[in-house]
Structure 1
Amino acid sequence: MCDLPKNSRVFRNPDHKSNTLDRIYKLYEQRRYYDVEIVLNDQRYQVHSVVISAVSEYLNLKLFDNVGTPSLKVIPINNLDNDATQRAIEYCYTGEIEFSYETVLKVLTVAGLFQLESLVEACCNFMSDIIDTTNCLEFHETANLYGCTALGDKVINFILRNYKMIAQTNQFLDISVDKLQRLLRMNLNVSSEIEIFDSVKTWVSHDMPNRKIHLPSLLKLINLPMLPDNLLYGEVTTLCEGVQNCPNLIISALQWKHSPHTIINSDVNWNKSRTRISTIILAGSLTDEGVSKVEIFNPNDNAWLEFLDTNIARKNANYVLVGDELIAIGGEDNKIRNTVESIDLKTGKKINLPSLQIGRVGSVAAAIGNVIYVFGGNDGSTTVNSAEKWDPVTRKWSFTTPMITGRRGCGITVLDNEIYVIGGWNESAIDDFGYKNVEVFCPCSEKWRTCAPMNESRHWISATTYDGKIYVFGGRQKGEVDSQKLKSVECYNKSTDSWSFIADMSTSGYGVASGVLGNNLVIIGGATSDWKRKGVEKYSKNLNKWSSLPSVREKRENSYIFSVPTSWLDRKLSLN
């Protein structure tokens, strides 16, 4: 470029582009100087070719031939939503659009056709924040259709972790047999193969005359030898009555289970098994400094590895896992906090989220889908019964229906899409031993109910759902200082609304973490008297017996266990 004479200058108006587009948009609103009509159903949208062709490659190709002269003045389109189409056209002028849970798929359909890549990406990002059990199957297909890799990865991870709940939705009942087969080939994280069979039985029974024919192909995708004999001889056999080839599959499964050496030829590899889950345990301590490091169990080496350092060391904070994000909530360092952080466990990146309405320590938290609930705890002056809800769409905390009883140091778990808050303690309670009672929160109605109380009062406990039942481990009785430690474990059966004892833990203690590793319940850490534990124990349901696993790297009290795909471990090992 030639140098300008000294008596020249270049003037650039920083507002020129935006002002010009604003004026062009006003011309669009006034329907002036338009030269193209987009026709959808009975609706005509008058637009300016220079705008839509610059933004949309699809519309550009519709308008111009190879030499760049206008070849069409009318663009007919079909099978789109009128409102979404108008919003997308306005987006071409303004670069701004609003969509919601109800409209995002319609907007995405228009954006995909018009090849508005930035809008497609925005829709997919929004959808990734609102994944739940009722939409994840549709979102999975959408991600594949529009090439939304990030959305697809997040949806698949959600499906792997929540298959049992997904199989209970109406949307699951309406999927095609091909879609169900693709799901069954996934590395689904389930507590037992019974959950896989139950989902197939539910799907087939929804339209038995037309779906029963698919049973042979579906049963081949279930690890039938992992099912109990009474189930194979009972429900499986009954479901398969009159279906060709099904009896042979059942016989083959029983042979693999009891006499694998007698198998000569089989077109099914019953040796296959779903990759079981490994375990992450998280920071948390009531009386000592919080632990910021996350550990993961390597079942191949029977050892614990450091997974990452969250750099969050608040005492007695709550943790929940939502997709790949670990959410740290509240807790205490030099004061009681309402702080909330999100740690991406793939990248280690930490961001601050909006704070709780009040500071809480000793509260409990649970996630259903991407929605997080926090209950009770101490706010610095008293134990509260208030509850808060995180809305992933608005990205705000708001109060929801309070508990019947204020409590802290309680257990929490999710069973059948309801949240159970169990036991706990309140300094104003008449019963200084803690609570036996249990409250159940229904997220759909935002109402509480009670169920049968435990046999023993207990606080600073952990609760876990496994194989359709709730288990509660150890805890304290009496007050915070002069307390009796428990080694008992109780199991809740929802069908009978009753609690029963199983085998005691090997050591009395409170503040243990509990979860599921493979096909076993596990407990980690906790405290007895004035010392913290590194110990790990697993429980065999068949033997009603506890046994030891290798200890964790850090002493832990009031920490958290989350079940995750073994691919997380593979990713960690690949970086070492």
Structure 2
Amino acid sequence: MGAKTCLESLDPGGAVPLGIPADPSSCPSALLQVGDHKFSAHRIVLAASIPYFHAMFTNDMMECKQEEIVMQGMDPSALEALINFAYNGHLAIDQQNVQSLLMGASFLQLQNIKDACCTFLRERLHPKNCLGVRQFAETMMCAVLYDAANSFIHQHFVEVSMSEEFLALPFEDVLELVSRDELNVKSEEQVFEAALAWIRYDRDQRDSFLPELLSKIRLPLCRPQFLTDRVQQDDLVRCCHKCRDLVDEAKDYHLMPERRPHLPAFKTRPRCCTSIAGLIYAVGGLNSAGDSLNVVEVFDPIANRWEKCQPMTTARSRVGVAVVNGLLYAIGGYDGQLRLSTVEVYNPETDSWSKVESMNSKRRFVQLPGEGPWEQRGKTRLECWGWWPLTRSWCVGEEGVEQRGSRWDLLGWFWDAHADFGCCSLVEYYNPHTSSWHAVSNMLNKRCRHGAAALGSRMFVCGGYDGSAFLSAAEVYSSGADQWYLLVPMNSRRSRVSLVPNCGRLYAVGGYDGQSNLSSVEMYDPESNRWTFMAPMVCHEGGVGVGCVPLLTI
């Protein structure tokens, strides 16, 4: 860790209109008292540099006439450092004084120094201190630091769970943490081990919390062997009737698939840490001549660079792509002559593809989580298929759904429509746990062949075709308000565009602008509401399937 940050000639508050005189010694001074410590400073210097004193000395407050001013709740060394900073513009922030300086700067309304202290702490977040920093940031109402610490905890959960800070957390904080979707874990088994470690740290006082804690852990996502050999055999679990029921529920998930729809949705939803940068894979697609490709290339958004990786065994355009448990699935598509039912999976760790069970039907234009659904005109027949990695099997959802509009899937299912493509603004979503469709508000623009992706709790849609023009328009759906909102349009018109979320941003990859297939890529930043061109694909021109594989930091 860096030991010190120095501030030089920084405007302390940034909003004080007075200036410091060339010779402040001619001005009246005040004696600032903190406990047994007293500091002398010229009133005009304090008023010119520190908003707190500016308000005190210019608003005829009682203290403005007192020779001695008592400063309650201030650390003496922090007050001395901030007074010196008012005179010489120099402040050294280190591990020992950063918290007292931040508290003092907050009290004295020195926002720039408060921000500098937050930056110092943010740059030194560590699995052993991040929980304490988050609590401190919440106390001091430092929202940016709090969010940074929270994100760090999610990204490094496994290491954090081994720290003394985690083991000392109150129950409510542990319960909230293990309930989070954003935890970065390789498997749910790591969350179970973290919860058990917290219980055992003070078993006599905490064992009564185990049932409620275990109810927030997604035991159905654990391997059957782990449930049988580790969870079921743990003495804490064996001694608790409610815990044994939770284990039986998880085992039934594996043994009796027909009961899966009755489970609470969160228990079978894999955790996904969206704040971790991932690698974006462009799979299959077309070359400049319009031929289907088996080529795969990968984009590093940090380096802004594309590189080739191992090709698929089959050429596929209009291919569906999904990422499950760190593996990249290429589903169906079109090989230039035939629609495909075959499926293969890519392991980034070994840079290799292998085949898995084929779908029951040959499909192209397969729609996957995070990709844009095609619109239909008139009544259509819709089939939903779910892939269960644990059982390596496909299962059928609701069939024969009659509807007119766009549908997306947020819960890990794929769908295929049998109809002529049309353009519409109607929207539905499918809940596989209840095997039911639900209508939501219409999009602001009718469109088909667009890109769609979920980012946090919002659904983004961009590009497509409205029946007469190719679109650059983008919009976002808020489930809380059940309403669509316009975004700034993309720089290029794109139909058949692939949209993928990565580290809180969206990447629009490829597409067709009405004249040619595109190799270009744009990145959307929700904070700035702006699209920016990134490095173009090297090997592809449109028609790609896209998936993002997180870079695990554990």
Report the TM range for the smaller structure's normalisation. 0.3 to 0.5
Q: Name the TM-score, length of structure 2 as normaliser.
A: 0.47
